[in-house]
Amino acid sequence: MATLLKTTDTQSAIEELGALLGDRLSTSPAVCEHHATGETYHAPRPPDAVVFPETTEEVAEIVRICAAHGVPMIPYGVGTSVEGNVCALEGGVTLDMGRMNQVLRVSQEDLDVTVQAGVTRKQLNTHLRDTGLFFPIDPGADATLGGMTATRASGTNAVRYGTLKENVLGLTVVLPDGQIIKTGGRARKSAAGYDLTRLFVGSEGTLGVMTEITLKLYGIPEAISAAVCSFPSLEAAVNTVILTIQSGIPIARVELLDDIQMDACNKFSKLDYAPKDTLFFEFHGTERGVAEQVEQVREIVQEFGGSDFRWSTKPEERNALWQARHDVYYACLALQPGKKGWATDVCVPISRLAECLIETKEELDASPLLAPIVGPRRRRQFPRLLPHRPGRSGRDGRGQAPQRTHDRPRTRHGRDQHGRARHRLRQAGVPGGRARRRGRRPHAHAQADGRSPQPDESRESGRRLTAGLCSRLWRASNASFKE
Amino acid sequence: MSQLRVLVGCKRVIDYAVKVRVKPDKTGVVKEGVKHSMNPFDEIALEEAVRLKEKQVASEVIAVSCGPQACQETLRTALAMGADRALHVEVSGSEYEGLLPLGVAKILAALVKKEEANLVVLGKQAIDDDCNQTGQMLAALLDWPQATFASAVSVEGEGLAVTREVDGGLENVRLSLPAVVTADLRLNEPRYATLPNIMKSKKKPLAQMTPGDLGVDINPSLTVLSVEDPPVREAGSKVEDVDQLIAKLKDSGVF
């Protein structure tokens, strides 16, 4: 514990790393800038150096060197995070795991696979395509499995296949002192020892660097069918989802996109769906099972006034549909070019989902904020609400971030998952809630403009609204859990 | 129209995601221990054939592969994707190294006659040799019409209407059957072999034979002299900032 108080000596660390890695260490500003941020609106914070390890032993050596000099380390996958996960708040060394991208072992009969942390999910599924197996967790981006494990990623398939937490069997992790440990194993079930695997899953790089991950695989289902239908109101759509899940229909994916989001997706992904509140479904199973599920859901849809029930089994149509869903973040940004998105999400029990969503939507409609809602429905009745809020552009007169005063919304189960990262950023004094114009150098902009921007009135009210909205969400979800 | 019996060629090649390395003795590329899979264009061809069967235009889809024993894995994938039967024409060792499109076309011609197929769907080219010759040679040997680089295939009356992707754009052709069609990238998106189907495919028939059984002589008319890496790119130099870049460009005489 005495090492916590060590002073930081970045220069010596970089020299030693250079000796170890040669040209796989880079301190060039371009490379550091590239690793300074993900897909987030947070200000980029570049590290002092970026290293490209190729083996677990190298990672251990890098960690040992950095730890000896008190230098912070940030593991980096492909930079698709949306919460500033890779911003080097205190400088340090970023470990770019991209070269550790081998699929080490596939066991078709045991339905598991071991990969290095830099393998992306699409790469893994492509590798597996001959085996009839797939890895179902699919957050929108083509993230690395290391990144997905570190952030306990979920995805559109979570409603049936669970999240990363349920699908990791074991890890190889380098601890902060350079020790290499293996957690878990390949056993599907074990009562031996502490469940360290689950400790590391979701630790967001705060407990160690993951280098190898053993994952569960699932058989590609015999029949897959995707369906879309639109609804006259958000309430109708939500009630359809609730009734579907409560009826025990083993739906594989169900996503809600509100009218703003649907419009954005139509424009961005060139679809032709009605810009109304829409549900996207996917059914997995045998031919007959899928047909049965489709029929059951169609009845529920009709009950709630849904229309244009379209469905398809062709791979290219299904993929186009889900790609549109995965592109929602970019579709939202395209609605208001020049602004950044502020993503947030909330987890509520399914019985309170309709109420929560409808109240939120009413507040958003009354506000000047543009906030599309998109929501994957988690399994076990913990759905997620995701208002995307392209932020405001410009800076206030002082050129500084106003401090935010509202509480983090918390739920008992998923804490505002984005709150954790924002909290850390806020503590570090980084403007955590402000959007800036696209283009990464605010000071360069100010110089180019020549004039200082005027404080934006709508921004103030927007901020108040956001604060109000978040605390309402918090109260609502807290209350619903207590009941 | 009477139902089609479709023959589909499935070549086993090094997986497209693998980085190919040349053997030090320059006789070829490293294939030991490297992941192999079905040629992507053949997957597209097979998918099209299976869809024709699902539309009940085709009555049977037969997958064919020429090569060593390992080709049977590729054929099992083909069966899992929906082929009814598989034929493995065994060619191994140095004979396989020398197997060229003309040899394959002769084998396929013999099989077409044996199986009484009336439509052959092939991938437009293999990703290892990029020859883009087998389909065309086969059509010539059989004296059948051909439509290559197909991006859309549909039945029209007693024949096929095919849209071809050519350099100038899209060309629509009509062919009478029997015919040879080669598949291009945008024809369809092949399905993944599902786990239940992989299990079922183990029970589907897979017949094995040699070129000799078919009376085909596959002696190559070409010999490979050497296989080499493309010339190594001259090392670039990294610059630390824009000023250095501009200085370097000036030195090189660009401006």
Backbone φ, ψ for residue A435 (5° rounding) = -95, 150
A12 touches chain B (CB under 8 A): no
Q: CA separation (Å) from A416 to A95, A368, A410, A474, B195?
A: 27, 23, 5, 9, 38
Label residue A392 by pLDDT band (50, 70, 90): very low
CA atoms of B162 and B152, how far apart (whole Å): 6
Residue B189 lies in a domain: yes
Residues in chain B closer than 8 A to A316 (CB atoms): 188-189
B201-247 pLDDT, tens digit per residue, is 999 999 999 999 999 988 888 888 999 988 888 877 788 889 988 98
CA atoms of A477 and A413, how far apart (whole Å): 10
Nearest residue to A112 (alpha-carbon basis) of A227, A213, A14, A44: A213
Residues of B whose CB is below 8 A from A130: 37-38, 73, 77, 193
Residue located via tokens 């969400």: A473
DSSP state of B164: E
Backbone angles phi and psi of B14, in degrees to 5: -65, 135
Question: Does some domain include residue B170?
Answer: yes
Q: Output the domain CATH number for residue B20.
A: 3.40.50.620
**Does A132 contact B238 at a Cβ distance shorter than 8 Å?**
no
Residues of A whose CB is below 8 A from B35: 127
- Angstrom distance (rounded) from CA A363 to CA A376: 21
> Hey, CA dihedral for A374, A378, A381, A384, is it positive or negative?
negative
For A219-245, the pLDDT digits (tens) are 988 888 888 888 998 888 888 888 888
Residue A397: predicted pLDDT: 24
* Residue B139 pLDDT: 97
Residue A284 vs residues A135, A159, A249, A253, A292: alpha-carbon distances, Å: 14, 12, 11, 9, 11
A452 in contact with chain B, both atoms CB, cutoff 8 A: no
Tallying the residues shown for chain A, one arrives at 483
What is the pTM (predicted TM-score) of this model?
Answer: 0.76
- A220/B contact by beta carbon, under 8 A: yes
Taking CB atoms and an 8 Å limit, are A132 and B194 in contact across chains?
yes
| Per-residue pLDDT band at A78 (split at 50, 70, 90) | very high
Q: Is residue B245 part of a domain?
A: no
Please answer whether residues A303 and B173 qualify as being in contact, where contact means their C-beta atoms are separated by less than 8 angstroms. no
What CATH number should be reported for the domain whose range is A103-219? 3.30.465.10
Mean pLDDT across chain A: 76
Task: Report if residue B126 sits inside a domain.
Answer: yes
Which chain A residues are within 8 Å of B188, Cβ to Cβ? 315-316
Q: Are strands B206-209 and B85-90 parallel, antiparallel or unpaired?
A: parallel
> Quick check: is B252 in a domain?
no
At B220-230, the pLDDT tens digits run: 888 889 999 88
The structure tokens 């150096």 sit at A49
**Residue numbers in B near A112 (CB within 8 A):** none
Prediction ipTM score: 0.75
B120-160 tens-digit pLDDT: 999 999 999 999 999 999 999 999 999 999 999 999 988 99
* Cβ distance of B195 and A219 shorter than 8 Å: yes
pLDDT tens-digit readout, A140-195 = 788 999 999 999 988 888 888 888 889 999 999 999 999 999 998 888 888 888 88
Q: Nearest 5°: phi and psi at A257?
A: -125, 130
Residue ranges of chain A assigned to CATH 3.30.43.10: 2-99
Other beta carbons within 10 angstroms of residue B235's beta carbon come to: 6
- pLDDT score at A228: 87
Nearest-Cα residue of chain B relative to residue A284: B194
Q: Does A127 touch chain B (CB under 8 A)?
A: yes
Nearest-by-CA chain A residue for B197: A222
- Pairing relation of β-strands A93-96 and A103-107? unpaired
Burial class (CB in 10 A: 0-12, 13-18, 19+), A442: middle
Residue ranges of alpha helices (H) inside B100-236 are 101-115, 134-142, 195-201
Contact A76, A35 (CB under 8 A): yes
Instruction: Work out whether the CA dihedral A12, A14, A18, A20 comes out positive or negative.
Output: positive
A319 touches chain B (CB under 8 A): yes
CB B68 within 8 A of CB B32: no
Q: Which tokens go with A445?
A: 């902009």
- The strand ranges marked E within A59-108 are 73-76, 93-96, 103-107
With respect to residue B122, please indicate whether it lies within any of the assigned structural domains: yes
CATH 3.30.465.10 domain span(s) along chain A = 103-219
CB contact under 8 A, B192 and A127: no
Partner-chain contact B17 A126, CB within 8 Å: yes
Identity of the residue numbered A275: P
Verify whether the Cβ–Cβ distance B196 to A222 is below 8 Å. yes
A166 vs A97: CA distance, rounded Å? 23
For domain A2-99, give the CATH number.
3.30.43.10
Tens digit of pLDDT for each residue in B55-90? 999 999 999 999 999 999 999 999 999 999 999 999
Task: Check CB contact under 8 Å for A132 and B193.
Answer: yes
The model's pLDDT over B44-63, given as tens digits with 9 standing for 90+, comes to 999 999 999 999 999 999 99
Whether B167 shows a pLDDT value over 50: the answer reads: yes
Q: What does CATH list as the number for A223-436+452-482? A: 3.30.70.2190
Place of tokens 């935010």: A404
For chain B, what is the domain count? 1
CB contacts < 8 A (A, B): 53
**Residue from A198, A86, A142 nearest A326 by CA:** A142
Quick one: pLDDT at residue B207? Answer: 95
Query: In which domain, by residue range, is B72 found?
Result: 4-230
Question: Nearest-CA residue of chain B relative to A126?
Answer: B17
| CB-based contact B240 A29, cutoff 8 Å | yes
Q: What does the alpha-carbon distance between residue B255 and residue B251 come to, in Å, rounded to a whole number?
A: 8
User: How far is the first Cα of chain B from the last one, in angstroms, to the nearest whole number?
Assistant: 68
| SS3 annotation, A171-205 | EEEECCCCCEEEEECCCCCCCCCCCHHHHHCCCCC
